[in-house]
Every structure is written in structure tokens, then in C-alpha cells.
Structure 1
Amino acid sequence: MKSCAAIFIKNKLLLIVWLLLPAFYVLGCNRAEPERKKNREKIDYIKPIPGKNDSIPAKVAEKGESLISYADCYTCHKEDQRSVGPAFKDIAKRYPVNKVYIEMLAQKVIVGGSRSWGYAVMDPHPKLSLDDAKSMVTYILSLKK
């Protein structure tokens, strides 16, 4: 059998531990947070490609807009905000409006691709004709501000 003095000391130690434990917890959790930057710099993920801009025929752009509205493009793209893929206006900001880029982007729509705008993968559209893809790309590039 333990003596009364030993039990008293043991209880006193437990009491001290139970009183100090919350104090250490409060001191540990109540650290002053470092000053956070409130004005974060906006990271521009659009890297414009320099080049000459050609004029866009209105009929081709209208045809492209119509084709896009009937295709599955709006599943992954929006006109002015990023979704799964880049916004159409962001694509227009990046690429110059000329035959070379219209051809390249039309091929990319047909074949599909990735890594141009991050990790998202664009599905291929092999049933789309090259002329229709060019019209769609022309409409997208017509959204350039």
C-alpha cells in the first residue's frame, strides 16, 4: 500500500501537468501570423506570340461561331473565363491572326493536344474538316481585343 504522501505528490504532479498542458497549447497555437501580402501580383499565364495580324472576313468568323455553338467546344472552353481549357479570348490574346497560326491551331483542334495551356488535354476532333476547323479558329482569333 502506498503512503498518503506518495499519493498526494502523484496527484499534485498530475494536477500541475493538466494545468500546464492547456497553457502550452494556447501559447503554441497563438503565434503571431506573419504579415501576408494583401496585394498579390496577378500571374499572367498568357504569353503573347509576336506576329502580324491579318484582317478577318466577317462571314468566316460568323461561320466559325455557328460551328462552335454546335460542337462540343463549350464543354471545356468559355468565351471570357478559364474553364477546363483556356478562354477563347485568352487564345486570341496569345496568337497572331494570320494564315500560319490559323492552320496550326486548326490542326491542333483536329488532332488534339496538351501542354500549351497547362496540364489539360484537348480531345481530338477527327471528324471535323480542316476548313471548318479553320473557320472556328478564325472566330476565336476574332475575339482579340
Structure 2
Amino acid sequence: MGKSSRLFICCFVFAIFWLACDTQEKKEVHKKADYIRKIDGPSDSIPIEVARRGEVLIAYSDCYECHTKENRAKGPAFKDIAKRYPVNNGYISLLAQRVILGGSGAWGKSVMLPHPKIPQEEAETMVKFILSLKDSP
């Protein structure tokens, strides 16, 4: 094997090693972003009876196909939603509209399908249950 062949092989091996190390560094530098982005504001209390009714409405809906109480699935966890939003009539109404009309972008790339058959009052009761999880362990 000639001198130029050995030099080529050494450079080739060094280049592969350098690329492998460079890729590993990029993976370690990338950090997971916080997707909750809490909104500050005063929170009202939710009566337990209303929260329980909302829990029943959610159980009979298709919400658990994309959400769970504690862990992110296709959509955000209910507890993460509760951490983000203050409990007040403005946000309850806004979130109920998102349930009915659907939406995207608030929680990354996930898309919330519309639920036009859910009445506003029921959607608000469901949202109240979700927001009641704010203080639960």
C-alpha cells in the first residue's frame, strides 16, 4: 500500500470519527422545551359537584383518545392544561370554544379536532373539570 493510499485512509477514518462526534454533540446540546408556558392571573374555585359533572361528561366523550389526566399523549395532559390557564370565566369560555371549534398551535404541533355537537354549557363544564386538576397531587 502506497503512502498516498495510507494518507487517504487515515483522512477518511478521521473524517468519519469527526462527523460521529459532531453529531453526538448536537444531540446533547438540544434541550426539551417547556411546553406549558403558564399564564399568570387570579384563579377562582370550582365547586366539586361541577368538577365531577365535567369528569362524567369527559368520560362519555372522545377526549381520552387524545388526552390523559397526567401524561402528554396526542394532546396535552389535562393537568398540564390546568397548570397553564388561570381558573376564570374568560379562560373557561375560551377553552370551551376550542373544544367546540378545534384548534392548533397552543400546544405545539398537535391538532384538536372540532366537537361541534357539544353544547357550550357542557364544554364549559368539561373545562371546569380539567382546570380543577390545577391543585390535585
| TM score, norm. by length of structure 1 | 0.77
The percent of aligned pairs where both chains have the same amino acid is 51
Letter paired with 2:40: P
1:81-128 deviation per Cα after TM superposition (whole angstroms, max 9, x unaligned): 212211111110111111111111111111111111122221111111
5 Å-filtered alignment, 1:12-23, equals: 15-16=1-2, 19-23=6-10
Does the 8 A contact of 2:66 with 2:73 survive in 1? yes
Task: Return 120-129 or 42-51, whichever deviates more.
Answer: 42-51
Question: What's the counterpart of residue 126 of structure 2?
Answer: 136
5 Å-filtered alignment, 1:34-49, equals: 36=25, 42-49=32-39
Cα drift, residue 29 of structure 1: 2.2
The structure where helix makes up a greater share of residues is: 2
Secondary structure in 1 matching 2:91: helix
Which 5+ residue runs of structure 2 have no aligned equivalent? none
Letter paired with 1:29: I
1:38-90 deviation per Cα after TM superposition (whole angstroms, max 9, x unaligned): 69755322121121111111111001111111111111112112122111111
Task: Return 134-143 or 78-87, whichever deviates more.
Answer: 78-87
Distance 1:43 1:24 in 2: 38
Which 5+ residue runs of structure 1 have no aligned equivalent? 1-14
Secondary structure in 2 matching 1:144: helix
Question: What's the counterpart of residue 14 of structure 2?
Answer: 27
Question: What's the counterpart of residue 6 of structure 1?
Answer: none
